[in-house]
């Protein structure tokens, strides 16, 4: 068996192992007892996903695909900022309201 993936924590290791299992690759998550030695704090670096030698390349290809689909924290572009749109509408309504008050 070889390490196909070094997870940040035990939960991520089980997610990856489940994904590999769904694609027909037997995977084993190691590091349960090592992580428990650190207490309830999510210690990183102890959780690994192991696969058979003949499945390593296929597993790593699937893992690369998994990592590429991870959501990246994105910032909203300035043109889609809703607070800016509300401010513009507020100014328009304020100007129209003041004009109506002055007019009548």
Report which of residues 14 and 33 the model is more confident about.
Answer: 14
57-94, pLDDT tens digit by residue?
Answer: 999 999 998 888 766 555 555 555 555 677 788 888 88
Banded pLDDT at 22 (limits 50, 70, 90): very high
Mean pLDDT, the chain, rounded, equals 79
Q: 49 forms bridges with which residues in the sheet?
A: 5, 29
CATH number of the domain bearing residue 45:
3.30.70
23-61, pLDDT tens digit by residue?
Answer: 999 999 987 766 555 555 555 567 889 999 999 999 999
Confirm whether 100 is domain-assigned: no
Q: Are 26 and 58 in contact (CB under 8 A)?
A: no
Confirm whether 75 is domain-assigned: no
pTM of the model: 0.58
- Domain of residue 26: give its range: 2-68
Confirm whether 51 is domain-assigned: yes
Confirm whether 23 is domain-assigned: yes
Q: For residue 7, give the nearest of 52, 38, 48, 59 by alpha carbon.
A: 48
Element (DSSP H or E) covering residue 31: none
Q: Tokens for 72, please give them.
A: 């990246």
Q: How many domains does the chain have?
A: 1
């Amino acid at each position: 068996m070889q390490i196909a993936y070094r997870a940040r924590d035990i939960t991520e290791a089980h997610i990856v192992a489940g994904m590999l299992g769904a694609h027909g690759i037997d995977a084993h998550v190691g590091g349960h007892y090592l992580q428990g030695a650190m207490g309830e704090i999510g210690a990183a670096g102890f959780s690994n996903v192991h696969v058979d030698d003949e499945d390593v390349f296929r597993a790593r290809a699937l893992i690369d695909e998994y990592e590429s689909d991870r959501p990246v924290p994105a910032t909203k572009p300035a043109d889609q900022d809703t607070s800016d749109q509300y401010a513009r509408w507020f100014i328009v309504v304020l100007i129209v309201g003041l004009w109506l008050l002055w007019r009548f």
